[in-house]
Amino acid sequence: MQKLNLSQSLSQKLSPQQIQFIKLLQVPTAELDTRIEEELEINPALEEGKTDDQESADDDFDENYEEDYGDDRDVNIDDYLDDDYGGYKMQGDGNYSPDDDDREIPISSNTSLHEQLISQLSFLRLDERQKTIGRQLIGSIENDGYIRRDLEAIINDMAFSQNIETDYDELEEILRKIQTFDPAGIAARNLQECLIIQLERKEHPDDPAVMHALMIIQDCFEEFTKKHYSKIQRKCDLSEEEIKDAVNLITRLNPKPGGVSDGLVRTQYVIPDFMLNQVGGKFEISLNSKNAPELRISRSYADMFDAYDKSDKKDKKLKETVTFVKQKLDAAKWFIDAIKQRQNTLLRTMEAILQYQKDFFVDGDETNLRPMILKDIAEKIDMDISTVSRVANSKSIQTEFGVFPLKYFFSEGIATDSGEDVSNREVKSVLQTMVNDEDKKRPLSDDKLVKMLNKMGYNIARRTVAKYREQLQIPVARLRKEL
């Protein structure tokens, strides 16, 4: 039997304005201009620029608003910032000066890899049918320069999309011609074939090092990838010196002949949100000027609201007009306040990070970074952890040592024999130095690295060393071995 029951419950939901503030807080400087332009387009009561009578216009609006609606707009938005909205990501590397003018940057004319290959295809003596097959093969080349699609699948594509019947032998014959194009190694189907193509195109193919390198890649590729040099020496009957010369030659080959991801060289820039300078031995933090746009309430809309509100006409259409104007003025005022609150939150967060990591900002030495988590900064500035997370995940700071994302300064701690905690970045830096200085003929295993770190006072487990080594993209000892 179905029953109806009444129950009361309390729930906390974010209003559209609160969600808008969250998004404004997350937006990096590079995207803030676009967000402001969107708001200017949809709200005629919001204008760019600042005038002398700005404060009086705002005061008039506040008085009229409070008479009708009361002063219920003052909401502490931080109380609501415990949701799980995702953050924006910064892209690219580089610098941006706040003094630079806003202007379109001319893009140099570049030829993509695909276009280069099509151009080279036109120089081959092929009939139209073969050129069509060649274009299909070039179109199957991935960003790194490899063809990973099975040739049988390409044969089927030709039949269905081009109405051209071909077979494996013909396809491979044309593929071999494409593999003679520049850059060397292009259109290979795997790494082994890519290296062989490059070795076969060497200027002196009779050079012993080239011949030995070809032998190793053709006959001992698996052993080579695992650096089992003793097995290669026995299998190929080569001396240690001959293997060393061949391996040195192989390691100078290009494993990704396609180069950059899309065949074009592009320069990307990070626009830092903060600037850090030392003046008279003291640090000064400033927001990027793009974070402080000059916005104002439209004077004409404020006057319009004042005129309508004082009018004796109280018909329905006039009431609707007054309501519309109030909504636009309210939205404009709130957006300006949200921008100001964004600036305040950014500065408070960055100032707390600066105080916490002051030793690092003095000389830029990574080993001076202290262990710091989101909670440390949240408690310092009396804000929610999620607020700090949104700032840290999408903002960066320009220092005299370079541009750093704020999340760079957050790290877990590792206990030492002295009872203190040090940043795991310090441990990673020491680990990287150990690997750089090791004897490559006898590289250090994870067990040996743990013992060395423990002797230096770092209480660290083997699994943690393995995790840090992987994060640093350091291969296992066996793969670091050199002749």
Question: Domain map of the chain by residue range?
Answer: 16-85+274-404, 113-181, 190-263, 412-480
Q: What is the pLDDT of residue 313?
A: 57
Q: Is 121 helix (H, G, I), strand (E, B) or coil?
A: helix
Tell me which residue of 251, 290, 253, 295 sits closest to 271, measured CA to CA: 290
Both tokens of 442, joined, read 């006898």
Give 104's DSSP letter. P
pLDDT for 343-395, tens place per residue?
A: 888 999 999 999 989 888 888 887 788 888 888 899 999 988 888 888 888 78
- Rounded to whole angstroms, the Cα distance separating 322 from 315 reads 11
| Cα 261 to Cα 413: distance, rounded to the nearest angstrom | 36
Ramachandran angles phi, psi of 276, nearest 5°: -115, 125
- CATH value of 412-480 in 3.40.50.1970, 3.40.1440.60, 1.10.10.60, 3.40.309.10: 1.10.10.60
Task: Measure the CA dihedral 36/37/42/47, to 10°.
Answer: 80
For residue 273, which of 286, 261, 260 has the smallest C-alpha distance?
286
Length of the chain: 483
AA identity, residue 350:
M
Query: Is 331:297 a contact under the CB 8 Å cutoff?
Result: no
Q: Show Cβ contacts of residue 423 under 8 Å, excluding neighbours closer than 6 positions.
A: 369, 370, 371, 372, 411, 412, 413, 414
Could you check whether the bond before residue 183 is cis, i.e. omega within 30 degrees of 0? yes
> How many CB atoms are closer than 10 A to CB 91?
10
d(CA 391, CA 376): 14
Q: Are 354 and 283 in contact (CB under 8 A)?
A: yes
> What is the residue whose two structure tokens read 């309430």?
297
Q: Residue 472 in contact with residue 428, Cβ under 8 Å?
A: yes
**What distance in Å separates the CA atoms of residue 383 and residue 345, rounded to the nearest whole number?**
9
**Confidence (pLDDT) at 13:** 63
DSSP string over 165-205? ---HHHHHHHHHHHTTSSSTTTTBSSHHHHHHHHHHT-S-T
Other CB atoms within 10 Å distance of the CB of residue 441: 8
pLDDT of residue 45: 82
Q: Which of 425, 434, 383, 426 is nearest to 407 (CA)?
A: 425
The rounded Cα 342 to chain-centroid distance in angstroms is 22
Name the percent of the chain in helix, strand, coil, to the closest 5: 55, 10, 40
DSSP state of 6: -
DSSP bridge partners of 46: 297
Low-confidence ranges of the chain (pLDDT < 50): 51-52, 54, 57, 61, 65-110, 260-267
Backbone angles phi, psi at 277, to 5 degrees: -130, 150
Helix (H, G, I), strand (E, B), or coil: what is residue 47? strand
Predicted confidence at residue 306, as pLDDT, reads 73
Evaluated on CA atoms 178, 179, 182, 187, the torsion sign reads positive
